[in-house]
Amino acid sequence: MNDLEDKMRDALRPVGPTDGFSDRVLARLASGTQRSTQEAQARPRFHRANSRWVSIALAASIVVAVLIGQQWRVQQQEEGLKARRQLIEALRVTSDKLDLAYQVVNDPSPSEAQHEPGV
């Protein structure tokens, strides 16, 4: 039996991914901040048969709108991630204090834990 288990351990030794795996991970991390720019740039263009100046003004306003939208998304993401971090911390603190009460209540040494009637 041990011989079989040894063979299994030998057979299941970890195998690595192809070379450059960590570089690919870092590249994905970096592209995460650029993705919103690419999405914004992939929007359909408006086709207008107007004068050159109107076209330029329209193009400029689209660029401005895209940049504002991008900035808003980045800001939303930052605020959202911050809110999430705070939430996790708040729940950690809460659980920690509930556990403190639980430990005291379950401490086998003489305790002064008091309990409300009916609970």
Partner 1 sequence: MKAEATDPLDEQLAKARSGDQRAFAALVRAHQRSVYSLALRMLTDPGAAEDLAQDVFLQLHRKLSMIESSAHLAFWLRKIATHRAIDRLRQQPAASVAALEEADLLGVHIEGDPLLQRQLRELILDLSPAARAVILLRFQEDLDPLDIARTLEMPINTVKSHLKRSLATLRDRVLNRDARSEGHLV
Partner 2 sequence: MNLRIAPTLLLSLLLLSSAGAAESPALLRLPNFDSLTERASESVNITLDSTLLGLAARFLDAEDPEDAAAKDVIRGLTGIYVRSFTFEEDFAYPRTDIDTLRKQLSAPGWQRLVEVRSRKEQAHVDIYISILGEKANGLAIIASEPREFTIVNIVGSIDLEKLHKLEGQFGIPKLELEKD
Contact positions vs partner 2 (CB under 8 A): 77, 79-81, 83-84, 86-107, 109, 111-116, 118-119
The interface partner of residue 93, options being partner 1, partner 2, none and the CB cut-off 5 to 8 Å by kind, is partner 2
Tokens of 88: 């996790």
Q: Which is nearer to partner 2, 34 or 114 (CB)?
A: 114
58 contact partners, CB below 8 Å, separation of at least 6: 46, 48
Q: Which is nearer to partner 1, 4 or 113 (CB)?
A: 4
Out of 15, 42, 49, 113, name the contact with partner 1 by CB under 8 A: 15
Tokens 């690419």 correspond to what residue?
A: 38
Task: Name the CA radius of gyration of the chain, rounded.
Answer: 29
Smallest distance, Å, CB 9 to partner 1? Answer: 5
110-117, long-range: CB within 8 Å, 24+ apart, which pairs? none
